């Protein structure tokens, strides 16, 4: 059995981040790299044109801090960037660290981890790239109910 490259493993928020997770920056669109400084910024999408894989949804990024990593003595992974895969920009929901700031304690939904070799030269280590579909408690529309869910469908109406 072979595991394909770029395989993302589902993981619960509590397993990945046992001491919660702090959102440090506002969530913004993930922007494609363009060497032309005058070009208009273009948002990235979850789609690989070479393989045809991906959801096709827009990507959003934010910087987060994992207090568990900082107390474990692994300061190099205490803060990192997380990618959200959602139709609309996720909005922080939960407990705000300090009123009037962009610091929030958040819980991620639809979390996946992708193993990745990080570091340079002789200081390489195994790290993870995290992606999520949203934030628990977010009601901005990032997580929409299906247009015709079966439980709320009238008895005489058939699924399409």
Cα–Cα dist 92/105, whole Å: 9
Cβ contacts of 26 within 8 Å, gap of 6 or more: 62, 102
89 pLDDT higher than 70? yes
Delimit the domains of the chain by residue range: 9-32+41-137
Which tops the pLDDT comparison, 125 or 132?
132
The 8 Å CB, 24+ separation contacts for 73-81 are 76/119, 77/127, 79/24, 80/130
* Residue that has been written with the tokens 């869910």 in this structure: 149
Cα–Cα dist 90/146, whole Å: 18
If you ran DSSP here, which 8-state letter would residue 43 be given?
A: B
Cα–Cα dist 82/100, whole Å: 23
How does pLDDT run across 19-30, given as a tens digit for each residue?
889 999 999 999
Name the average pLDDT for the chain.
Answer: 82
Give residue 51's pLDDT band: very low, low, confident or very high (50, 70, 90): confident
Determine how β-strand 125-132 pairs with β-strand 79-85: parallel
50 pLDDT higher than 80? yes
Question: What number is the average pLDDT over the span 49-71?
Answer: 85
Cα–Cα dist 120/5, whole Å: 21
């Amino acid at each position: 059995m072979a595991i394909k490259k770029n395989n993302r493993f589902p993981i619960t928020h509590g397993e990945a981040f046992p001491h919660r997770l702090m959102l440090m920056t506002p969530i913004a669109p993930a922007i494609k790299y363009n060497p032309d400084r005058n070009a208009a910024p273009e948002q990235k999408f979850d789609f690989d044109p070479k393989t045809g894989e991906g959801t096709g949804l827009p990507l959003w990024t934010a910087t987060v801090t994992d207090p568990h990593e900082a107390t474990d003595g692994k300061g190099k992974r205490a803060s990192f960037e997380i990618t959200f895969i959602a139709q609309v920009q996720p909005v922080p929901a939960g407990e705000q660290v300090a009123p009037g700031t962009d610091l929030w304690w958040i819980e991620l939904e639809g979390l996946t981890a992708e193993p990745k070799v990080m570091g340079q030269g002789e200081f390489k280590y195994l790290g993870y790239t995290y992606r999520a579909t949203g934030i628990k408690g977010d009601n901005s529309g990032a997580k929409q109910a299906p247009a015709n869910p079966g439980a709320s469908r009238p008895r005489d109406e058939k699924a399409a």
